[in-house]
Structure 1
Amino acid sequence: MLLTAQQLKLIAPSLSVAKATELAELINLVAPNYGITNKNLFEEFLATILHESSEFSRKEENLNYTTPERIIKIWPSRFNYTGVGGKKNATAFVRNPKALANEVYNGRMGNKTGSNDGYDFRGGGFIQLTGRDMYNAYARYHGIAASEVADKTRKLDWWALDSACWVFVIEKKLLPLAERNDFITITKRINGGTIGLNDRMAYLARCRKFLV
């Protein structure tokens, strides 16, 4: 199927007409390369990326937290207000995204301890790639360097969309679930749970209404 700008604007009303036109053309160009070609697949995929990217407004993970309270809420096992008990003082990481990314992401997901990997391989794309291992896998798919891919997914819509297709189809293998309309399992595979499910379901309902 072909997605029109009018359909995308109805599903994602925050988009300008110009942006909806640009993105519809991009989706029609990229999605079929990954086998996303029929209505069922478009519905599940589009609903997922619209939620994950806040209607295509977010390509980069925001680690610029403005309060220690928020940092502690997100990572309660890693931070507190005092820096004792084996945890870090969250205040030191307020408005310090590089230090925060390195603290929470280094030593896992292929990121090296004592490096800037956590920050360099922070989330990027409309379904965010995170960690050196995932960026390496996606980079191998395209035959380019992971460091180059990471920068592109956070800055350029084509790469943000292509990487989202790759996550959905190649990394998470969600096409069979999409064919069966198993959106709950898709959400769990992407998110690790059902966070934001109401918002996701609202997008799915609009996709089913407006995609023909």
Structure 2
Amino acid sequence: MWLDAVDGYRHLTPESLKAAMPRCPRPVAWARALDDAIEFWGVTDIAMLLAQVGHESADLTRLVESLHYSAERLMAVWPSRFETYARASQFAGYPEKLANEVYGGRLGNIEPGDGWRFRGRGPLQLTGRYNYTAFATAIDDDAPIKTPQLVAEPIYGALSACWYFVTRVTPRASIEVATREINGGLIGLADRRRRYEQASRALEA
């Protein structure tokens, strides 16, 4: 662990996490990991963190990018890569092939298979060898590179989410600014705002 073991919680309990994310399937494990990661990275706006994590991961139930797309959806998401139905059909239903096609040669992915190996994982969908390496360097631990699957588990997942949050989100940012910094746009803004209010109440209880 990156912190000495402590009794109790500093910032977040299983109860407050469950109140903020009712569908969270492992509230004890995730609360312990998030509480430690919040302390480790010095996260100050915990309600904003929980709102963004809750939306991006569907209450910590969606922790690995599936890449299961229909041909029609591929053409909508990556129109420049899949200009025709015939081309999109070659990748529809083949998530590994798709990951290597759309992520290969970018995001720091330089080795064959890196697109799939370093696909999105964790509460805030860490993606690409570059981001996995930056995270590993930040915690001085190469486990996320050697075993990327760990980023979808509580300890490394919580650490990666808090690291991403503190390195991307402006302190005391509004919900609109924080959403742009996490998402690149304002997708799901209403849900993120609702979650922020819900998390704020949960942390005050």
Normalised TM-score (structure 2): 0.86
- Residues 105-128 of structure 1, C-alpha deviations (whole Å, 9 max, x = no match): 112111127x21111111111111
Counterpart selection for 1:186 from 133, 155, 178: 178
Counterparts of residues 65-144 of structure 1 (less than 5 Å): 65=69, 67-83=70-86, 89-112=87-110, 115-144=112-141
Q: Does 1:45 align with 2:49?
A: yes
Q: CA deviation at 1:181?
A: 4.3
Matched, 1:151 2:149: yes
Q: 5+ residue gaps in structure 2?
A: 1-9
Unaligned runs of 5+ in 1: 84-88
Show the counterpart of 1:34. 41
Task: Supply the distance in 2 between the matched residues of 1:50 and 1:199 (Cα, whole angstroms).
Answer: 9
Decide whether the 8 Å contact of 1:105 with 1:131 is kept in 2. Answer: yes
Residues 15-48 of structure 1: CA distance to partner in whole angstroms, max 9, x if unpaired? Answer: 35xx223322222222110002x5xx11111111
Percent of aligned pairs with the same amino acid: 35
Q: Deviations over 1:116-150 (max 9, x none)?
A: 11111111111111111111111112334353252
Q: Deviations for 1:158-193, whole angstroms, at most 9, x for unmatched residues?
A: 1111111111113x1x2xx34x24221111011110
* RMSD of equivalent CA atoms: 1.8
Distance 1:4 1:149 in 2: 28
Q: Distance in 1 between matches of 2:98 and 2:159?
A: 27
- Between the aligned partners of 2:160 and 2:199, the Cα distance in structure 1 is 21
Q: Report how far residue 82 of structure 1 moved.
A: 4.6
Q: 1:151 to 1:10 in 2, by over 3 A?
A: closer
| Alpha-carbon distance in structure 2 between the residues aligned to 1:43 and 1:118 | 32
Shift of 1:81: 3.4
Given the two structures, how large is their TM-score scaled by the length of structure 1?
A: 0.84
Higher relative contact order (CA 8 A, sep 6+): 2
